[in-house]
Structure 1
Amino acid sequence: MMILKKSMKFVIAFICMGLFFYSGHTVAQDADIVVAKDGSGDFTSIQAAINAVPANSSARTVIFIKAGLYNTEKLLIPSDRKNVTLLGESRTETIISYHIYDCNQGDGKCPVNDASLWSAEIIRTSATLTIKGDGFKAENLTVQNTAGPVGQAQALTIQSDKVVFVNCDLKGYQDTIYFWNVGKRAYFNGCLIVGRTDYIYGGGVAFFEACEIRSWGGGWITAPSTAESQKYGFVFYKCNVTYADNSPRDGDDGNKIALGRPWHNYPKVTWLYCDMTSMINPVGWPTIWNMDYAASSDKLELYEYKNTGGGADMSSRANWAGIRALTDAEAPLYERAVVLAGSDNWNPAPAATIRKHGAGSSIQTVDLGSAIEGFYYSWTNATSVTVSGLPSGINTSINNTAQTVTFSGAPTQAGVFSYTVSTIGGLTTASLSGQITVNNTGVTYYQLKNRSTGLLLDGMGRTGNGDACGQYANTTHVNAHWELVDVGSGYYQFVNRGTGMILDGMGSTTNGAVCSQWANTTHRNSHWSLQQYDGDYYRVQNRSTGMFLDGYGQSANGADCRLYANTGHINAQWVLVPVNSTSNARMDNANRLASPEKMNKTSLLVYPNPFDDKLAIKTGEVGKPLRIEVYDMQGKLVKSIDNPEISGQFASIDITEYGKQFLLKVVTDIGSFTRTIVKK
């Protein structure tokens, strides 16, 4: 006897989630038995796998069927094989197929030679798959009878109770699905059912939800034979009723299709919230067939309610006693939970599911400001999802039509973030969790806020060399974050956090010229000095041209940032706000750009400023001075003093020979510090 390889993950999913059927894609290791044509599973035969299921088991047995065309056997789920699931690897590539049909030869089944291969129990109908065991489920596969327009040729014969088909293609021509037994219940969700003649027929109770009912022309969709004592027959709920061209039978194309024809007993068929093709015969039920009481008996219940599409108009329906629209009060009696309840309150509600896809892991570790590796989740049987717990900078895009939520972006917040994706709007709720760990790399980023307008210098996400820099109000986006990279001689590059592009003056000397960006440049056009001008406000001057960064008084989001010469206007004044620090402090008077992560912890004081002939530099906590450098406003080094003499905490230098304004850089054993000095 075969030992079943029950995955604990699968068992726990059923027990904890209370699923009525397994929903969503799966892989072989989630199943008890694997069938594969290439020999890579436990069996190459589906019937052999079915026979290996323990008899009369109350536990569900999942048979995973790998992709392939399985067309050499006529299948039977025996009555003692209960709670069996056939789970396909692919809806359109896992195909169970056979070709027997009813005929007048031999024992009434053709082709005779093929029919003779099967025992009486299996050949009782022509069905490719006969289901006698209760609790059967099928998902993500195709079952078909390929006999064509030759007579009765079922894909399915259902003789058992509580049968479920999800995300399946069920194909035939005549009598595609036969509901053999009165009172036995079946549920179909998201399935395609194809046929032409009486292709959904019999006396059982069947609920079709969100299915496509696809007909070739000239035939009848249903042939019900509901018992008089049975409250429900066939219910079609939110289905699409469509028309198929290129019928395998000549003469079908172009002809209308009927909702059905009564077979016997007291047929009951209800259509609710369906979209109906205009190729439906306006009469709906154009023939009484062999039932002389079909038109006069009010025991037939052939109802419709709030359907749409060209075939939904009931004004020309047959004048039968049992054909009418449901009332608003009656419609709730045709919901799934009511129709299929029976005596045990069975409700095969489609459980919400979530699955992760894509290269990126749901558990990632990235550096602050670095993009995560993208990934997405898909869901079923819910209207949408919510996402909680993500760090700022990580974006989600929810597509309710495709039922996906995509994750992307670069975190702007350090820490460990556990996030959860949860479905909403379904009968059940599903959720999955993940974790994004964001390392703080120690880089401090700044926002440059214009004094005149309050707009922030923004790279605008542009990545083309020469692309303009813009401005944006009240944004926390990484496009408005800049790293200050010390390039020496009192100059810095402003590197955009969002794109890596570098602020560049482009060598322009025209007032009002647009300030741009350039990738991976070391040119002097991308070097800038910061000159403290008024309190916390600084001017930003280009090394190559001497032009100043200027907001130009523009207040519109996306407005270009520009350049202007020799200006002291507030449009050219900026305050630097660190965005990676736990402090909200602005850049202090020390202006220690070489090590901004230590901002506000030390101070460099220069007396007097504005100066006379001598300048006293108080080093304070900035460390031991190793060198003092003096630069003119074009960045040219004019004096360098190695190992300056220190008296107490002061170093003194004579600056009589220097111009009215210059840059002072003090290099110490813990960093370098720059100040702009102005003559009195």
Structure 2
Amino acid sequence: MKLIPKLAAIILAASLFGCNKQQLSDNAALPLTGAQANVAAAAAVSVTVAKDGSGNYTTVQAALNAVAANSSTRTVINIKNGTYKEVLTIAADKKNVSLLGESTTGVKLTYDNYSSKTNPATGTGYGTSGSASTFIKGEGFYAQNITFENSSGPVGQALAVNITADKTVFNNCRFLGRQDTWYGSNCRVYLRNCYIEGTTDFIFGSATAFFDGCSIYSYGGTAITAANTANYVTYGLVFNNCTVTAASGVSTLLGRTWGGYAATAFVNSALPSNISAAGWSNWGNSANDATARYNEYGNTGSGANTSGRVSWSKVLTSAQAANYTSYTNVLKTTYASSPVTDNWNPNTIINDPSSGPVSGITSGATYSILAKHSGKALDVKQSSTTHGGVLHQWGYAGTNNQKFIINDLGGGYYNIINVNSGLCVDVKDASTANGAVIQQWGYAGSANQQFSIISTGNGYYKILNRNSGKGLDVKDASTANGAVVQQYNFSNGDNQQWQLNKLN
């Protein structure tokens, strides 16, 4: 449990992490864009880590140590499946590093330090700050298909990650732990389609962090979040199109004020009955009522009812909510008392060819399939298990109706089977027309149920139906949840390109 802000606690924490962690200055370097990004991708250094010795390194830290200091080009570290028990540090001078896992559940970076555990180097406890399994300090860090874990269990504060690096991006990653699993300091972080679990305050810190289509799981504990946002920072922890679930019978708050200006928002997210009616807590300090910034909008589920919320939380208007649902707006300025608007866009990294899938299709493996233009997942509408269930796009929440088994049929063709229903991706009525709806149906070996999956050379794939030759396409290039997936002549549009994230 973090220290409640009292004078004695403040004095104690002046030299330790505790509740009052050291504030770091922001780095305001501009991201690579346009031709610069292409040059960086082409010049990227790529190495492989494999426990069995088949790569360049057998440990992740050894690969990190070899990264050139202050490099302006990206270093890509491909990590083969395995559990790597190491305390990892991406040092501040190890910039523009990508960790790309072979599969999300197959690559686990883990350790078991915790706050009160004795550090043999000092003879004292690690403290909250020092308990992390992975320390991310180098600007421009990117991780895809990685599990970050603190395996120490319910023993108090025990971080899976400690993030102080500006412009950090996590794509399709998992964060496993109990108390204080995920910590972000004075920096900007973007998370797409990630899973975070824990107990008390398991997502916390002063960072401006945008959780986009993420799955949040509470084992129970005081609150999900504990923000310590600076008073000059507009956005703190923003959860957009996320799904919150919890262990049976537990109750938890959405957030509590670790700092007086705590800023946290849940928008367009699914909230379970485990969310306490009050929603938010001032952590026993009524002065925080006037300064904390706790916002909600458009949430669904039995935990989304705001009628019993604390009086000082706020329901946003639709116009206000538009500012929170745009990650480019939330992340556009540096984290500083005199912020610089550098319009950082995390898709500069996500769409970089050097951060694409590590390898080709593995027959029989399970994948999430994400549209390039929206980042949303191929999804069977309403988790239908019936023949004719329509496929659309939706924010990825890790549910089985968003997971697909891809089987190699030979001759360059695949079938794509939904994990939830066991039914196959199918072009309705075997149509060869533009706009024909993509549905699910029992696999019968017909050509309208078979697809070629071909790299477009930028870390994405086009998925072409064997019968019609047309590509899977998000209708009207919509970025909205529920947009229909159809077939259309392939023209290299971003709404026709798909990222395949291997899940096992």
Unaligned runs of 5+ in 2: 1-32, 334-340, 352-370, 373-377, 379-403, 419-424, 451-465, 480-492, 499-504
Report how far residue 153 of structure 1 moved. 0.6
Which residue of the partner structure matches residue 347 of structure 1? Answer: 345
Which residue of the partner structure matches residue 361 of structure 2? Answer: none
Q: Secondary structure of 2:231's match?
A: coil
1:143 pairs with 2:148: yes
1:289 pairs with 2:283: yes
Report how far residue 400 of structure 1 moved. 8.4
Distance 1:172 1:409, change over 3 A: closer
Residues 69 and 93 of structure 2 are in contact (CA less than 8 Å); yes or no, is this contact kept in structure 1? yes
- Paired AA for residue 156 in structure 2: G
Structure 2 residue aligned with 1:359, among 396, 409, 414?
A: 409
Structure 1 residue aligned with 2:316, among 296, 304, 326?
A: 326
Where do residues 358-507 of structure 1 align in structure 2 (5 Å cutoff)? 358-362=408-412, 374-375=414-415, 398-399=438-439, 407-408=447-448, 419=469, 421=471, 423-424=473-474, 425=477, 429=494, 431=496
1:336 pairs with 2:327: yes
- Paired AA for residue 438 in structure 2: I
Distance 1:417 1:205, change over 3 A: same
- Paired AA for residue 196 in structure 1: T
Which residue of the partner structure matches residue 94 of structure 1? Answer: 107
What CA deviation, in whole Å up to 9, does each residue of 1:290-326 have, x standing for no partner?
534112x1x3210000100010000001122xx0100
Q: Secondary structure of 1:149's match?
A: coil
In the aligned structure 2, how far is the partner of 1:418 from the partner of 1:18?
35
Report how far residue 31 of structure 1 moved. 7.7
In the aligned structure 1, how far is the partner of 2:72 from the partner of 2:144?
20
Which residue of the partner structure matches residue 265 of structure 2? Answer: 270
1:38 pairs with 2:52: yes
Q: Secondary structure of 2:200's match?
A: strand
Report how far residue 347 of structure 1 moved. 2.1
1:261 pairs with 2:256: yes
What CA deviation, in whole Å up to 9, does each residue of 1:121-148 have, x standing for no partner?
x995211111110110111110010112
Residues 275 and 307 of structure 1 are in contact (CA less than 8 Å); yes or no, is this contact kept in structure 2? yes
Q: Secondary structure of 1:331's match?
A: helix
Which residue of the partner structure matches residue 209 of structure 1? Answer: 212
Instruction: Give the TM-score, by structure 1 length.
Output: 0.48
Residues 138 and 168 of structure 1 are in contact (CA less than 8 Å); yes or no, is this contact kept in structure 2? yes
In the aligned structure 2, how far is the partner of 1:361 from the partner of 1:346?
43
Q: Secondary structure of 2:234's match?
A: coil
Report how far residue 398 of structure 1 moved. 2.9
Residues 426 and 448 of structure 2 are in contact (CA less than 8 Å); yes or no, is this contact kept in structure 1? no
Structure 2 residue aligned with 1:165, among 144, 154, 170?
A: 170
In the aligned structure 2, how far is the partner of 1:409 from the partner of 1:68?
34
Residues 272 and 303 of structure 2 are in contact (CA less than 8 Å); yes or no, is this contact kept in structure 1? yes
Residues 277 and 309 of structure 1 are in contact (CA less than 8 Å); yes or no, is this contact kept in structure 2? yes
- Paired AA for residue 69 in structure 1: T
Q: Secondary structure of 1:337's match?
A: helix
In the aligned structure 2, how far is the partner of 1:338 from the partner of 1:152?
32
Report how far residue 359 of structure 1 moved. 3.0
What CA deviation, in whole Å up to 9, does each residue of 1:227-285 have, x standing for no partner?
1110110100010110025xxxxxxxx23111111011401101100000101100011
The count of residues paired between Structure 1 and Structure 2 equals 359
Residues 75 and 129 of structure 1 are in contact (CA less than 8 Å); yes or no, is this contact kept in structure 2? yes
Report how far residue 212 of structure 1 moved. 0.7
Residues 208 and 235 of structure 1 are in contact (CA less than 8 Å); yes or no, is this contact kept in structure 2? yes
Larger Rg: 1
* Structure with the higher fraction of residues in helix conformation: 2
- Paired AA for residue 398 in structure 1: I
Report how far residue 391 of structure 1 moved. 11
Which residue of the partner structure matches residue 600 of structure 1? Answer: none
Which residue of the partner structure matches residue 357 of structure 2? Answer: none
Report how far residue 69 of structure 1 moved. 0.8
Q: Secondary structure of 1:281's match?
A: coil
Report how far residue 160 of structure 1 moved. 0.9
In the aligned structure 2, how far is the partner of 1:307 from the partner of 1:117?
47
What CA deviation, in whole Å up to 9, does each residue of 1:48-80 have, x standing for no partner?
101111211121111111111111x20000111
Structure 2 residue aligned with 1:224, among 204, 227, 231?
A: 227
Structure 2 residue aligned with 1:304, among 288, 291, 296?
A: 296
Where do residues 7-26 of structure 1 align in structure 2 (5 Å cutoff)? none
Residues 170 and 190 of structure 2 are in contact (CA less than 8 Å); yes or no, is this contact kept in structure 1? yes
With a CA cutoff of 8 Å and minimum separation of 6, indicate the structure with the bigger relative contact order. Answer: 2
- Paired AA for residue 223 in structure 2: W
Residues 67 and 75 of structure 2 are in contact (CA less than 8 Å); yes or no, is this contact kept in structure 1? yes
Report how far residue 418 of structure 1 moved. 10
- Paired AA for residue 347 in structure 1: N
Report how far residue 164 of structure 1 moved. 0.7
In the aligned structure 2, how far is the partner of 1:123 from the partner of 1:197?
13
Instruction: Give the TM-score, by structure 2 length.
Output: 0.64
- Paired AA for residue 48 in structure 2: V
Report how far residue 193 of structure 1 moved. 0.3
1:75 pairs with 2:88: yes
In the aligned structure 2, how far is the partner of 1:309 from the partner of 1:324?
18
Distance 1:391 1:133, change over 3 A: same
Distance 1:391 1:329, change over 3 A: closer
Residues 358 and 376 of structure 1 are in contact (CA less than 8 Å); yes or no, is this contact kept in structure 2? no
- Paired AA for residue 345 in structure 2: N
In the aligned structure 1, how far is the partner of 2:284 from the partner of 2:431?
69
Report how far residue 149 of structure 1 moved. 1.7
Which residue of the partner structure matches residue 579 of structure 1? Answer: none
Unaligned runs of 5+ in 1: 1-13, 23-29, 104-109, 246-253, 363-372, 379-384, 411-415, 434-680
Distance 1:111 1:423, change over 3 A: farther
In the aligned structure 2, how far is the partner of 1:400 from the partner of 1:84?
39
Structure 2 residue aligned with 1:50, among 58, 64, 75?
A: 64
Q: Secondary structure of 1:178's match?
A: strand
Report how far residue 426 of structure 1 moved. 5.7
In the aligned structure 1, how far is the partner of 2:128 from the partner of 2:311?
40
Q: Secondary structure of 1:341's match?
A: coil
- Paired AA for residue 162 in structure 2: T
In the aligned structure 1, how far is the partner of 2:179 from the partner of 2:105?
21
CA RMSD of aligned residues (A): 3.9
Q: Secondary structure of 2:254's match?
A: strand
Report how far residue 15 of structure 1 moved. 7.3
